[in-house]
Amino acid sequence: MVDTHYDLLSICYVCHLKNDYTKIEDISKQILNNDMKAIFANLYFMSLEEMKKELDPNYYNSNVSILEMFKISKRILKRYLPNIDFVYSIEGCDFLSIDDLESLYDEGLRSIILVWNTENKYGSGNRTEKGLTEDGIKFLNKAIDLGIGIDLSHANKNTFYGMIEVIKENKKQGKDVICYASHSNSRKLCDRERNLTDLQLKEIKDVDGLVGVFSNRNFVTLDKSLSKDMEADLYLEHIIHIEEIVGKENVMLSTDDMKFCGEIDINYMNAPIFDYSNLETKVKNLLLKHYKVDDANKFLYENAYKKIINKLNIDRIKTNEK
């Protein structure tokens, strides 16, 4: 399986700050117990107050560059999971400048989520109303020129459509823009701002983008009284609905597993419909309730490899070979 959104770099960095690697040790064991081929690993940023509360009081400060945070996190992750393919991503580019992109690319950055839930200098997330800014257009163009994948998740509608226009313009110029929404579900089936409308899904199809349908129950259903089996069936409905719009070649799967934040909010502990103790088996069995094996394998890993990972020139050099 390929998990197209998991905040592993942030987990690694928090472990580094605390000098306690128990959490990443436990997570790595769970990952290795599944047939996990690749993970989109995120280093994420939001408001200073939220980062202090959700991650660590010292998670971000101007004395440590994001490049250094990225290097430290990546080194730790490869130590514990040397044989997994990673697409390294930054989620929320609030504290990055355009000039930072090249050095981060050289270090292995291959994906960006321009905004988190709030507004930054490049655009706005789903909690705000503003759209893509002029700096945001320049930032995206630079990322595309470098060959960095553009992740559409978290953008509000105005920013989303602005990003789509930038992608279309670059495609007109003959550039092979790699774009996707790594962790987004159907707003028709679950009316949350983070989810995508059918019109947005059609725009993603028009630019040959992909959608990572994610198994966080808070974005699968608003009904808190359902059993896990019923929630899983609703997750399958999201996959089917999105597939019917974007096509079988453009569906991926993700977890956005936030259980590591369960110490500050029990809702994070309850969010995953599937956990990593049995992720690959349960998801595949769920898909086979509706799809043939060949289609299930496309969603589980083939689409992500064919249309994203193999194009991004990811670093597959094992730690022990360096």
Set out the domains of the chain in order of their start, with CATH numbers. 2-321 (3.20.20.140)
CA nearest to 89, candidates 167, 171, 178: 178
> So what's the pLDDT on residue 262?
55
* The residue type at 160: F
Give the tens place of pLDDT for each residue, 131-166. 999 999 999 999 999 999 999 999 999 999 999 999
pTM for this predicted structure:
0.94
Share of the chain above pLDDT 70, in %: 94
What are the b/e assignments for 230-257, b being 16+ CB within 10 Å? Answer: ebbbbbbbbbbbbbebbeebbbbbbbbb
Residues of the chain with pLDDT under 50: 317-322
> So what's the pLDDT on residue 5?
97
89 vs 14: CA distance, rounded Å = 16
Give the tens place of pLDDT for each residue, 16-28. 999 999 999 999 9
